[in-house]
Chain A
Amino acid sequence: MKSMAFAERTRKEIVRDPLNIVFGLGFPLVLLFLLTALQANIPAEIFVIDHLAPGIAVFGLSFISLFSGMLISKDRSTSFLTRLFTAPLSASNYILGYTLPLIFMAFLQILICFLAALFLGLPLNLNMIFAILALTPTIILFIGIGLLSGSVLNDKQVGGICGAILTNVSAWLSGIWFDLNLIGGWFKEIAYILPFAHAVEAGRSAIAGNYASVLSHLWWVIGYAVGIMVLAIYMFRKKMSGDAA
C-alpha cells in the first residue's frame, strides 16, 4: 500500500514533465525513423531495422537513468526526501516506490520502439518478444545508474552525468551508430568491458534467433545491473540512516 502510493507519485512526477516524454519516447522514435530513411537511401548494414531497433531501444533506456536520477536528487535538494525520511517508511518502500513505475515505463518505451520498428519492416515473431525480455537486465542497469546518481549527486550533476556523459557513452560505446570492429583496438576493448555494447548485442542476437549468443552477452549486463543496483541501494540506505539527506 505504502509502496504503491509512492510508486503512483513517482509515475505522476515523471509523466507530467513534458521533457521526459520528448526525450524518453519522442527522440528515440525520431532517430529510428530518420536512420531507417537514411538506410533506404544509403544502405548501411548497421541501420537495417533488425540491427537498429534493439540499439535504439537501449539508447532510449539511457534517459530512464536521467529521469530517475533527476527525480531523486530533486527530492533531496527540495527537502521532500527529508520529509519522507521522517515518515514510517521502510527502505523497500522507497526502492519499490522509485523503481516500479520506472520498470513499467521502460518496458512501455521498448514496446513502443519495437512497435514502430514493425511498421518499418521488423518481422513480427517470437524473437521480438524474446528481444524485449533480453533487454530486462538493461532496464535494471539504467534504473540502478539513476538511483545511484540521484542518491549521491545534486540535480545539476545528475544532468551532467546522466544527461550528457551517460547518454553519450552508451551511444558511442554500444555499437548502435557504427560497427565497433571498424575502429577496433582499445576503443573496442573498452566498449566490450562496459555493458552497453553487450546490451545491444543481446537484443540483436535475440532478434536473429541466436539464443546462445544472447546469454553470453547477457551475463555482462546482468553482472553490471546487479552490481550497480546493490551499490545504489546501499548508498540510498546510507542516506536514509545518515546525517545528510
Chain B
Amino acid sequence: MIAIQIRSLTKKFQGKTVVDALNLTIQKGELFSLLGVNGAGKTTTIRMLTCLSNPTSGDATLLGNSIVSNPCAVKEKINVSPQETAVARNLTVKENLEFIARIYGLNKQAVEQKVEEMLTTFRLKEAAGAKAKTLSGGMQRRLSIAMALISEPQILFLDEPTLGLDVLARRELWKAIERLKGQITIILTTHYMEEAESLSDRIGVMADGTLKAIGSAAELMAQKNAGTLEEAFVLLAAEGEAG
C-alpha cells in the first residue's frame, strides 16, 4: 500500500530551483529518512508535503489526497513535529496535548483518553501539570512528538527530532520512534547518520534539490563501496555538489 506518491514535485524561489522534479514513493508503515546537506531541499520538500508551501509544479498524493487540489484532506491525516520544539510555552504539558487534540476535532472523551495515553507513552505523566517552558530540552521534544501523535496521524513528519539533545535524551527519543515503526508512516529528516541508520527502513539522499540515491543504509554503503553510512553520504552529497 502506497502512503506517499510524489510526482515531478518542483519548487522554485525567484527563479532558483530548490526542489527539482522530485519523484518518490513511500509505502505505508515505512520509516523513510531524508538526508542532505543544508540547502539540499529537504525542508522545502517537507514543507510542500505538509501543505505549508505550494509546489511550483508537480504534485504529491498522501493516502490518495493531493497536496495541490485537496490540502484540507491531507491535513486531516498527517501531523508534524517541527524542527523547533513548537510548544505553547505558558500552557502545561497536559494543556498542550488537550489543545492539539481539540483542534483536530477529537471529542471530550477521546481527548481525555488520548492525553492519558500520550502522557504514559512519552513518560510525561509526572510533568503533566508543569508549564512547557519549564521542561528540559529532551522533555520538550518528547512533548512535541506526543503533540504530533495525539491526533492519530497516518503519516508523521519528524523534522530533526533530536537536534540539540544530549546522547541520553536522543537515545530515549529513538526508542519512542522505534515503537511507532510499522504502525504509521514516518518521514524523518536528520543530520545524524547514526540516527538515520538506526531507525530507517529506507534513506533518501538529497543534493541540489534532487534525490541522488535511495535505499537501505546497507544498500547505500554498498553502492558507494563505503565502510560507513556517513562515508557513503559524503560521497553522494559531493557528487551532487560537483554535478
A2-B103, A2-B105 given; A78·B85 CB < 8 A: yes
- Do A243 and B13 touch (CB < 8 A)? yes
- The residue in chain A whose Cβ has the minimal distance to the Cβ of B151 is A87
Q: Which of chain A's residues have a CB closer than 8 A to the CB of B82? A: 79, 82-83
- Do A86 and B99 touch (CB < 8 A)? no
Q: Does B239 contact A (CB under 8 A)?
A: no
Within B79-123, which residues are at the interface with A (CB < 8 Å)? 79-91, 95, 99-100, 102-105
Instruction: Report whether over half of chain A's contact residues are helix, strand or loop; otherwise say mixed.
Output: helix
Measured CA separation A16–B147 after assembly (Å): 21
Measured CA separation A9–B47 after assembly (Å): 25
- Which residue of A1, A79, A84 contacts B105 across the interface (Cβ within 8 Å)? A1
- Do A9 and B104 touch (CB < 8 A)? no
Q: Does B24 contact A (CB under 8 A)?
A: no
Total A-B pairs, Cβ < 8 A: 82
Q: How large is the interface on B (under 10, 10 to 19, 20 to 34, 35 or more residues)?
A: 35 or more
- Which residue of A16, A83, A87 contacts B90 across the interface (Cβ within 8 Å)? A16
- Do B85 and A12 touch (CB < 8 A)? no
Q: Does B51 contact A (CB under 8 A)?
A: yes
Q: Which of chain B's residues have a CB closer than 8 A to the CB of A1? A: 102, 105
Q: Does A21 contact B (CB under 8 A)?
A: no
- Which residue of A17, A80, A82, A93 contacts B52 across the interface (Cβ within 8 Å)? A82
Measured CA separation A203–B78 after assembly (Å): 49
Most buried by A among B47, B82, B88, B99: B88
Q: Does B50 contact A (CB under 8 A)?
A: yes
Measured CA separation A181–B52 after assembly (Å): 52
Most buried by A among B13, B52, B72, B104: B52
List 8 tightest A-B contacts by C-beta distance, closest first. Answer: A5-B102, A79-B84, A79-B86, A79-B82, A16-B90, A88-B75, A83-B86, A86-B80
- B residues near A, CB below 8 A? 13, 47, 50-54, 72, 75-76, 78-91, 95, 99-100, 102-105, 131, 147-148, 151, 157
Residue pairs across A and B with Cβ atoms less than 8 A apart, 13 shown, are A5-B99, A13-B88, A82-B52, A83-B82, A86-B79, A87-B79, A87-B104, A88-B72, A88-B105, A243-B13, A243-B52, A243-B53, A245-B52
